[in-house]
Structure 1
Amino acid sequence: MNEADVVVVGSGASGLTAALIAADAGLSVTVVEKAGVFGGTSVVSGGSIWAPCNRWLADLGRTDSREDALAYLKTITMGRVEEERYTIFVDTVNPMLDEVVALTGISFEANPHHPDYQPDMAGAMAGGGRTLQGDLFDTTLLGDLQPKLRQAHSGVPITRLEVDEWGQDTLDRWDWALVADRVSKGIVGMGAALVGALLHGCQSKGVTLHTDTPARRLIRGADGSVAGVVVEHEGVEQELRARRGVVLASGGFEWNKTLVDQFLGAPLTAPSSPPHNTGDGLIMAMGAGAMLGNMNQAWWSPSIYVKGDSYDGAPLYRPTSSLRALPGGIIVNKSGRRFVDEAMNYNDMGKALANFDPQAYAYANQPCWLIFDQRFRDSYSVATVTPETPTPSWFTVADSYEELAGKLGIDKDGFLDQMKRYNDYAATGVDIEFHRGESTYDSYRGDARVTPHRNLRPLEGGPYYAVEVLLGALGTNGGPQTDTTGNVLAADGGTIKGLYAAGNVAASPFGPGYPGAGATLAAGMTYGYLSAKALAR
């Protein structure tokens, strides 16, 4: 482990895309991964790619336009991102996908139902089609690296489109015989399938791949350029020189409490990524004098914790994306009040959970709880708890609203008033307070089997249940700012020669926004691609 043309720090989709494209250009590439397995945060994702104007839209008989995509991103970014950064994304994401497909054989199709996350904004696609879903992957193709592919939280080999068909929160209705057959054959789905295919592509291009090799610090040249990294391998620090440059793709800092407290300004308590994301790349970039951006942002995700659940030795927090949208449940804070459309996209709802009340000098909506009735309990899975599973100790259960308020310690009068008003709204199918169920995104996440409204239904009788909803994140998305080639900008002007960044380690090209499902991976892979192209020139 002495030198290579390009050194990539991190082995998620962003880093592997950079490695694949650089290797295909004839460069020697070494990937170093801190964990004992490859894949990072990407493995535990849905594996979706958000790609405006993609060629798979034609299969649905739909069209998109560059102008619409840019108008949508201009609104989503709220003036906090230079226009050229998201413009280069729109112009590059599809060429990137074309090359990745050609080099890996990944099969994509456009999701016909998944709308953009703000479907009513100008330029959005409310009907679906910008989000691409990948196919399954046979891990036996990896040979000796098969055990080195990170296992997803669930390890269930399914596609995102199958989740849509079977129901994310109706685990009792899934085809478990088919799932078992796939497991026996080494098949994986979603994020693991995307990473597996990229890893296999890197293998075929001769990329050198190391696990258990954390990067400790950057090597600087006399002119301040980055000339490699010092890594720890088998307990020994070694210099790994990079003749052309280093690509940081090491994930966010959501598991580093010190960095979270200093930068986020919100009570992030439930990160859902692998616990190796402790800001290593961010710290190295700061040491090199990088300009930082988007440091108070994350891919927010309201989550729940199953008591005793863990992943890689840390607590496992599970998303609530569709659970919150299902009829028969609401979310209230300690005042007993609703505060948001429960069915809205997870990133923007997370911002509501982080709302600070200056009068009370406290976070107004933390803690908060998902409240649901017996029909909900009998119909849907809550994390790992299926309808037939005995009620676990981490559920709060009561026979009446009054008793539930007492057990949770929330304002009883406020809660009773809220329940009456909500049940009245739900009976009419119109939520006049928060407009739940009015957007196509809400409808997509609801239960189509429930009529007349797939998102709204009065809570119909006890016992009633409550589970706490925590402010979580799929990952942070602030870090070193880059130019449109992925080159890291210097705080004192210009760029840092030889240093590139992509994915959650870097400042997101979408700023405070999250345009649609798969935007995280799409941005990371696109900037990994741009970095590789720049290094190959």
Structure 2
Amino acid sequence: MTTTDVVVVGSGAAGLTAALVAAAEGLQVIVVEKAPVIGGTSVVSGGSIWAPANRYHTDQPDSLDSALTYLREITMGQVDEKLLTTFLDSVNPMLDTVVEHTGISFEANLDHPDYQPSLPGAMAGGRTIQGDLFDSTLLGDFKDKLRSPHSGVPITRLEVDAWGQDTLDRWDWALIADRVSRGIVGMGAALVGALLHGCLKLGVRVHVSSPARELFLGPNGNISGIDVDLDGQRTRIDVRRGVVLASGGFEWDQELVTQFLGKPMDSPASPPANTGDGLRMAMGVGAALGNMSEAWWTPTIHAKGDTYDGAPLFRPTSSLRALPGGIMVNRRGRRFVNEAMNYNDLCKALSTFDPQEYRYANQPCWLIFDQRFRASYSVATCTPDTPTPSWMPTADTIAELAEKVGIDADGLVDQVARYNEYSARGVDPEFHRGESPYDTYRGDAKVSPHRNLRPLEDGPYYAVEIHLGALGTKGGPVTDATGNVLRALGGPIGGLYACGNVAASAFGTGYPGAGATLAAGMTFGYLSARALAGSGA
């Protein structure tokens, strides 16, 4: 048995922010991580943080009032407004504290719009901020414990925007090779690396391969300790202040997905260690649950044989769907959504249920594209200069392609003809693709006259299946505005806090913009640590 002030369960950005702030407040902190590597889902993210009215955005006026208007709209009145106002009041102080103890340099992305830029209070750019690169050699013995991202390519999110996410031939590979040789990491890995470095400097003890098992309540009903397989040995850690759950979602546990999500989500894009450990522990001590049917949805593709941590790797399609020369269709051969729509809200169309046929109307679905698209863009692991793989069906005609993959041939031929007719004019009267600033941001800036629209031209033609996936779930224990977990029967559970994807999201069903996941997780990690330290919100 051992004793400390605070135990943080999970080592993503939310958990490490909680650990960093608690240690900066003078508390003794232990971080326990289930996986053999550090960083969780945060490492495989873009490392962006959605921070309205941040000090890095100076080109356009922004305000917390306009951001609150936007959050009210995108959460559709389903979230306690106290959580929204607390987030907005705290996200920038959180960033200031993180910068103070890590030295991260942030920069506003002036071109990245909010995810629903037409809603009142939305901004066309600047609320999403991104960090710089990080030298992983600064971590010493922990360098090899930093989780590797899916690609392992050390670049910044701003460089991805400049070079093109799906146009690998435009990337500066000599610069990238130099960074790799020097141990430089980028995006989510850089954010986690910097947070971990800050934690280590403040004396935080970090243990990998140490899954948490059970929470303990004291005679007063507050959290008194936690059971952990600490470095391979079952250990009870008593806590003087409390426990912060930051262990990620439950998207890789099929039983929990079936029980709670209520949608055919079969392709999580996160590390497979996210199996609901924190959720189960919170349920075990009587926590109230909320937002359990929601996730940070994303359409994904899977290249046969592509794996990560021994599980199939499902890759998000953030930009791929928005590029000119491709359309998404269901089994009837019909488009059903603006393909360039932000990934979270597009998935709401993927999960539409048809009560007449008693099946999901748009599952399965496919991205259909022509030879010019194939020769211009990378699709998962397939680059323009590599042979066409078996998981990418191809045919000389649209009708033959439809027959190959099980799409209604007449429907697809008709759909392509109609799409070609109006896309040649640079319009999409059916779904308004290319009209939103978000759409054009995701398109190909080197294609004119339209970044998002172009008729499907000469064959051969190709199809890849698009899956309903998730970056992570966002339902779990309900918290108050300090991150304190609430009881199912009312009142707080003393000493138990939750942040990140393990907790019921402060954004409900909505996804405000790029980096909102990390922003909420880190902000409520910050608030949890301050509450445990007695500093208040």
TM bracket, shorter-chain basis: over 0.9
Distance in 2, matches of 1:279 and 1:352, equals: 26
- 1:498 is matched with 495
Distance in 1, matches of 2:353 and 2:476, equals: 24
Helix, strand or coil: the match of 1:80? Answer: coil
Q: 1:416, CA displacement in angstroms?
A: 1.5
Distance in 1, matches of 2:81 and 2:19, equals: 27
Helix, strand or coil: the match of 2:312? Answer: strand
- 1:170 is matched with 167
- 2:26 is matched with 26
Distance in 1, matches of 2:369 and 2:44, equals: 28
Q: 1:224, CA displacement in angstroms?
A: 1.9
Residues 398-457 of structure 1 show CA distances to partners (whole Å, capped at 9, x for unaligned) of 111110111111112211211111111101111000000000000000011111111000
Q: Does 1:310 align with 2:307?
A: yes
Contact 2:139-2:197 at 8 Å conserved across structures: yes
Helix, strand or coil: the match of 2:264? Answer: coil
Instruction: Kindly report which structure 2 residues correspond to 1:108-119, keeping only aligned pairs within 5 A, or say none.
Output: 108-119=106-117
Distance in 2, matches of 1:233 and 1:4, equals: 14
Contact 2:229-2:235 at 8 Å conserved across structures: yes
Aligned with residue 349 of structure 1, among 346, 351, 361: 346
Q: 1:80, CA displacement in angstroms?
A: 1.0
Q: Does 1:243 align with 2:240?
A: yes
Q: 1:375, CA displacement in angstroms?
A: 0.5
The one-letter code of the counterpart of 1:229 is I
Distance in 1, matches of 2:286 and 2:75, equals: 25
- 1:427 is matched with 424
Q: Does 1:71 align with 2:69?
A: yes
The one-letter code of the counterpart of 1:457 is R
Q: 1:287, CA displacement in angstroms?
A: 0.9
Aligned with residue 94 of structure 1, among 73, 92, 95: 92
Aligned with residue 393 of structure 2, among 393, 396, 419: 396
Distance in 2, matches of 1:213 and 1:382, equals: 36
Aligned length: 534
The one-letter code of the counterpart of 2:113 is P
Distance in 1, matches of 2:398 and 2:166, equals: 25
- 1:451 is matched with 448
- 1:38 is matched with 38
Distance in 2, matches of 1:153 and 1:341, equals: 27
- 2:363 is matched with 366
Distance in 2, matches of 1:525 and 1:409, equals: 44
Distance in 2, matches of 1:411 and 1:531, equals: 53
Q: Does 1:184 align with 2:181?
A: yes
Distance in 2, matches of 1:504 and 1:519, equals: 11
- 1:467 is matched with 464
The one-letter code of the counterpart of 1:102 is E
Q: 1:230, CA displacement in angstroms?
A: 0.2
Distance in 1, matches of 2:385 and 2:155, equals: 22
Q: Does 1:284 align with 2:281?
A: yes
Contact 2:207-2:231 at 8 Å conserved across structures: no
Helix, strand or coil: the match of 1:56? Answer: coil
- 2:102 is matched with 104
Helix, strand or coil: the match of 1:45? Answer: coil
The one-letter code of the counterpart of 2:223 is V
Q: 1:236, CA displacement in angstroms?
A: 2.8
- 2:294 is matched with 297
Distance in 2, matches of 1:132 and 1:388, equals: 34
- 1:442 is matched with 439
Distance in 1, matches of 2:45 and 2:221, equals: 36
- 1:6 is matched with 6
Residues 97-129 of structure 1 show CA distances to partners (whole Å, capped at 9, x for unaligned) of 001001100010000100000000000002x00
Distance in 2, matches of 1:435 and 1:72, equals: 22
Residues 170-193 of structure 1 show CA distances to partners (whole Å, capped at 9, x for unaligned) of 011211111110000000000000
Contact 2:250-2:472 at 8 Å conserved across structures: yes
Distance in 2, matches of 1:204 and 1:62, equals: 37
Distance in 2, matches of 1:222 and 1:355, equals: 48
Aligned with residue 529 of structure 2, among 523, 528, 532: 532
Q: 1:305, CA displacement in angstroms?
A: 0.2
Instruction: Kindly report which structure 2 residues correspond to 1:161-240, keeping only aligned pairs within 5 A, or say none.
Output: 161-240=158-237
Aligned with residue 253 of structure 2, among 245, 251, 256: 256
Contact 2:209-2:232 at 8 Å conserved across structures: no
The one-letter code of the counterpart of 1:424 is E
Q: 1:302, CA displacement in angstroms?
A: 0.2
State the TM-score, normalizing by the size of structure 1: 0.99
Contact 2:215-2:227 at 8 Å conserved across structures: yes
Q: Does 1:416 align with 2:420?
A: no
- 2:55 is matched with 55
- 1:148 is matched with 145
Distance in 1, matches of 2:303 and 2:3, equals: 45
Distance in 2, matches of 1:100 and 1:236, equals: 33
The one-letter code of the counterpart of 1:20 is L
Residues 502-533 of structure 1 show CA distances to partners (whole Å, capped at 9, x for unaligned) of 00000110000000000000000000000000
Distance in 2, matches of 1:406 and 1:295, equals: 39
Aligned with residue 486 of structure 1, among 483, 486, 509: 483
Distance in 2, matches of 1:241 and 1:333, equals: 54
Aligned with residue 336 of structure 2, among 334, 339, 342: 339
Residues 209-258 of structure 1 show CA distances to partners (whole Å, capped at 9, x for unaligned) of 10010000101111221112100134431101111000000000000000
Helix, strand or coil: the match of 1:3? Answer: strand
Aligned with residue 511 of structure 1, among 508, 511, 515: 508
Distance in 1, matches of 2:11 and 2:340, equals: 33
Q: 1:330, CA displacement in angstroms?
A: 0.2
The one-letter code of the counterpart of 1:13 is A
- 1:82 is matched with 80
The one-letter code of the counterpart of 2:81 is E
Helix, strand or coil: the match of 2:262? Answer: coil
Helix, strand or coil: the match of 2:519? Answer: helix
Distance in 2, matches of 1:157 and 1:452, equals: 32
Helix, strand or coil: the match of 2:525? Answer: helix
The one-letter code of the counterpart of 2:479 is T
Distance in 2, matches of 1:448 and 1:35, equals: 40
Distance in 2, matches of 1:409 and 1:66, equals: 49
Runs in 1 of length 4+ with deviation above 2 angstroms? 233-236
**Change in 2 beyond 3 A, CA 1:91/1:234:** closer
The one-letter code of the counterpart of 2:19 is A
Residues 35-88 of structure 1 show CA distances to partners (whole Å, capped at 9, x for unaligned) of 001100000000000000000012xx2220111000000011111110000110
Helix, strand or coil: the match of 1:232? Answer: strand
